[in-house]
C-alpha cells in the first residue's frame, strides 16, 4: 500500500519576503555592531573606574555608557523579534513551495516550519531538518536524483553558528546579570562582545541561506536563464 502524500498547494513567490528578511538581517547586524562598539566603550570605562576610582569624571562617563549599553541591548532584542517573525513567515512560505515541488521529500509536517522554531528542545534541530528538506526539494531533480543537489555546507554552517550564538549569548547575559565586581563585569562584557561577533557571522550566513533558497525556488519555477547565444 503506497503512502498517502499531502496534497500540494499553490506556489507563492518568496522573493518579496526574502528581500524583507535580508533588510531586517542587515538591521540586526547594525544593532550588533552598535552593541559591540558600546560594549567596548563600557569595558574601557570600567578600566578607568578601576584604575582611577569612581570620581566625577569617570563616574559620569561610566553611567552614560552603561545607559547606552542598555539601549543597545533593547535595540538588539527588538530587531531580533521583528526579523524572527518575518523570517519564519518566509520560511513557512518556501516550505509550502517545497512540498509542491516534492511532496515526498519531507520528514516533518508543514506545521513544524512555524512551531519548530518556538517549541522548546525540538527547536535545536527541527528547523535545520526542515531547511535541509526544503533544500533538497528545491533542487533540480529531488525525486529522480538525476542531478546532484547543491552542497548542504551552507545550511550546516548557518545552523551551527545560530545554535552557538543562542547558547553563548544566554550564558554571557547571565554572567553579566550576576557580575558584581568590576573585574567580573569586564569579563562578562568580553563574553557579550564575543556573542555579538558570532551573531553577526550567523546573520551573514542567514542572508546567504535566504538568498540561495529563494534563488533555487525562483529558478525551479521560472527555469534557468538562457543566454542569447544559446537560443540559436
pLDDT tens string 89-129: 999 999 999 999 888 888 899 999 999 999 999 999 999 99
Question: Taking 50 as the threshold, does the pLDDT of residue 5 lie above it?
Answer: no
pTM over 0.75: yes
Q: What is the number of domains present in the chain?
A: 1
Distance CA 134, CA 139 (A): 9
The pLDDT value given to residue 212 = 94
Residue 143: per-residue pLDDT: 54
**Domain annotation covers residue 4:** no
Average pLDDT over residues 172-180: 90
Give the separation between CA 171 and CA 38, rounded to whole angstroms: 19
- CA-to-CA distance for 172 and 188, rounded, in angstroms? 6
Give residue 134's pLDDT: 94
Give the list of residues 6+ apart from residue 195 with CB closer than 8 angstroms, or none. 165, 168, 169, 172
What percent of the chain has pLDDT above 70? 83
9 falls within a domain: no
Q: Where in the sequence is the domain holding 150, given as residue range(s)?
A: 15-222
Average pLDDT over residues 38-46: 89
* Distance (Å, whole) CA 122 – CA 105: 20
3-state secondary structure of 120: coil
Reported as a pLDDT band with limits 50, 70 and 90, residue 163 is very high
pLDDT value at 33 more than 90: yes
Domain presence at residue 229 = no
- Cα 211 versus chain centre, distance: 13
The 10 Å Cβ neighbour count of residue 32 is 26
Residue 144 has pLDDT above 70, yes or no: no
**Is 2 a residue whose pLDDT tops 70?**
no
With respect to residue 5, please indicate whether it lies within any of the assigned structural domains.
no
Q: Indicate the DSSP class of residue 147.
A: S
Does 232 map to a domain?
A: no
Q: Is the pLDDT of residue 19 over 70?
A: yes
Domain for residue 76, yes or no?
yes
Give the residue carrying C-alpha cell 551551527: 160
Listed residue (169, 165, 174, 188) closest to 66, CA to CA: 188
| 132 in any annotated domain | yes
Q: Is the pLDDT of residue 58 over 90?
A: no
Rg of the chain taking only CA atoms, in angstroms: 22
Amino acid at each position: 500500500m503506497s503512502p498517502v502524500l499531502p496534497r500540494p498547494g499553490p506556489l507563492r513567490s518568496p522573493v518579496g519576503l526574502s528581500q524583507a528578511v535580508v533588510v531586517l538581517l542587515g538591521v540586526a547586524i547594525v544593532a550588533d555592531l552598535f552593541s559591540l562598539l558600546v560594549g567596548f566603550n563600557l569595558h574601557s570605562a570600567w578600566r578607568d573606574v578601576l584604575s582611577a576610582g569612581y570620581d566625577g569624571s569617570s563616574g559620569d562617563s561610566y553611567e552614560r555608557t552603561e545607559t547606552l549599553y542598555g539601549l543597545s541591548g533593547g535595540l538588539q532584542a527588538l530587531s531580533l523579534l521583528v526579523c524572527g517573525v518575518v523570517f519564519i513567515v518566509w520560511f513557512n512560505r518556501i516550505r509550502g513551495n517545497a512540498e509542491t515541488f516534492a511532496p515526498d521529500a519531507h520528514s516533518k509536517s508543514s506545521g513544524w516550519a512555524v512551531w519548530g522554531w518556538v517549541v522548546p528542545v525540538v527547536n535545536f534541530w527541527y528547523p535545520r531538518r526542515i531547511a535541509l528538506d526544503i533544500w533538497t526539494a528545491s533542487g533540480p531533480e529531488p525525486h529522480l536524483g538525476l542531478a546532484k543537489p547543491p552542497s548542504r555546507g551552507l545550511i550546516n554552517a548557518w545552523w551551527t553558528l545560530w545554535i552557538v550564538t543562542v547558547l553563548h549569548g544566554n550564558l554571557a547575559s547571565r554572567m553579566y546579570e550576576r557580575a558584581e565586581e568590576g573585574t567580573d563585569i569586564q569579563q562578562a562584557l568580553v563574553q557579550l562582545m564575543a556573542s555579538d561577533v558570532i551573531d553577526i557571522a550567523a546573520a551573514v550566513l542567514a542572508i546567504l541561506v535566504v538568498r540561495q533558497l529563494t534563488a533555487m525556488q525562483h529558478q525551479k519555477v521560472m527555469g534557468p536563464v538562457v543566454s542569447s547565444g544559446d537560443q540559436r
